[in-house]
Chains A and B, each alone.
Chain A
Amino acid sequence: MWEHKLADALLEAGTDAGAYVPDARLRKVVSRLAEQLPLRCLTREEECVAYACGHAAAGGRPVVLMQCSGLGNALNAIGSLLIPYRIGVPLVISMRGTLGEGNPSQVPMGRATVPILNALGVQTFSVRDAAAAEGVAKGIARLAYDARSPAAAILEPELGSQRDAA
């Protein structure tokens, strides 16, 4: 399944910790990662990015996972800490508010997620199936850990498993 492909690729890239705010589509990614490394469920997406920045500055290879509706909560940490301090942390962002969305409150952030990340200089790579999950996870890990460039995997609705998915 795509969740294991994505998680296993991160683990193979040396990811050794993580922080997240829960999301239905992320559930099996989180449980797979948590079998192998400390994965912290924190209070806010911004705190997850800050936690990862501290972990990475101390020599770790953390990952951050969130739903796109929480990206707004994380922009202060991404724009004023992660990017200017050139700390390499891969981001895994589960999309709401795009194809098939029924909740109007999710739509604006869903529409804006990729443009906001790109405006900040965070490269984004869509994941729609298991094959892409492995390659994108491997690629964002290399960008973040080796090139110290911020990069995000965008988990698209085609992957299913969102809370209200048909």
Chain B
Amino acid sequence: MNSVEATVAVLAAAPEALYVASLGTATSALREASDDGPHFYFGGAMGCALGCALGVAERSPERDVICLLGDGELLMSAGSLWSLAGLAPPNLLAIVLDNSAYAITGGQPTVTDGRFARAAAALDSLASAEASTPTDTSARVADTPRPGLIQANVTLDGPLAPDPFVNPDWVLTRFEAACGVPARPDSTPRSP
């Protein structure tokens, strides 16, 4: 299962969710799998996606929120797992696309296996699951309680496509609309 196949499986199980995707693999995979859907794509700020998703989830308690993370991304901000457990938003699911490497910079291996599902399982309020096929990924997205974390084991892809370096105005304007935020007079959605 590659990162796009995993993300297609996630979207099939949760088509109405609000999505936040971290820099690199997660953003490229979600752009490809959703045909540039109106999601919060990170073009930088590695390590910040789960914190951002916590803010989205707490502001939008009536919506299902899914945070797609790279494994390097989560290693950079592992403390946010504790925040996820502590705030325990009942509408937030984190999914780690775990390829054990930094794909965006050429596939350098991470320092060690993340064992993200096991780490999440150690925290009292978090549900935890692991998936290695698209079928399992869809099933775990459907049946994992929130808050929770799914470790999706994916292969290391080639060069990332589409481009993970997105236009922030394009991202934010469309994501605000997806959240039901009224458009601003200066909203000028452009290309990615």
Residues of A within 8 A of B180 (CB): 59
Residue of A40, A42, A50 ringed by the most chain B CB atoms within 10 A: A50
Compute how far the CA of A62 lies from the CA of B54 in the bound complex, rounded to whole angstroms. Answer: 13
Q: What string of 1s and 0s marks CB contacts (under 8 Å) between A73-99 and chain B?
A: 000110011001111000000000000
Compute how far the CA of A62 lies from the CA of B51 in the bound complex, rounded to whole angstroms. Answer: 14
- CB-CB nearest in chain A for B53: A54
* B60 part of interface (Cβ distance < 8 Å): yes
Residues of B within 8 A of A58 (CB): 18, 55-56, 59-60, 176, 179, 181
Residues of B within 8 A of A52 (CB): 55
* B20 part of interface (Cβ distance < 8 Å): yes
Number of interface residues of A (CB under 8 A): 31
- CB-CB nearest in chain A for B52: A54
Which of the residues A47, A56, A57 comes within 8 Å of B80, measured between beta carbons? A47
Which of the residues B43, B52, B169 comes within 8 Å of A53, measured between beta carbons? B52
- CB-CB nearest in chain A for B23: A80
**Residue contact A17 to B168, C-beta cutoff 8 Å:** no
Q: How large is the interface on B (under 10, 10 to 19, 20 to 34, 35 or more residues)?
A: 35 or more
Compute how far the CA of A51 lies from the CA of B80 in the bound complex, rounded to whole angstroms. Answer: 10
Compute how far the CA of A43 lies from the CA of B76 in the bound complex, rounded to whole angstroms. Answer: 13
CB distance from A78 to the nearest CB of B (A): 9
**Residue contact B179 to A59, C-beta cutoff 8 Å:** yes
Q: B-contacting residues of A (Cβ < 8 Å)?
A: 17, 19, 38, 40, 42-44, 46-60, 62, 76-77, 80-81, 84-87
Given contact pairs A58-B59, A58-B176, enumerate 6 new A-B contacts (beta carbons under 8 Å). A48-B51, A50-B54, A54-B53, A80-B45, A81-B52, A87-B172
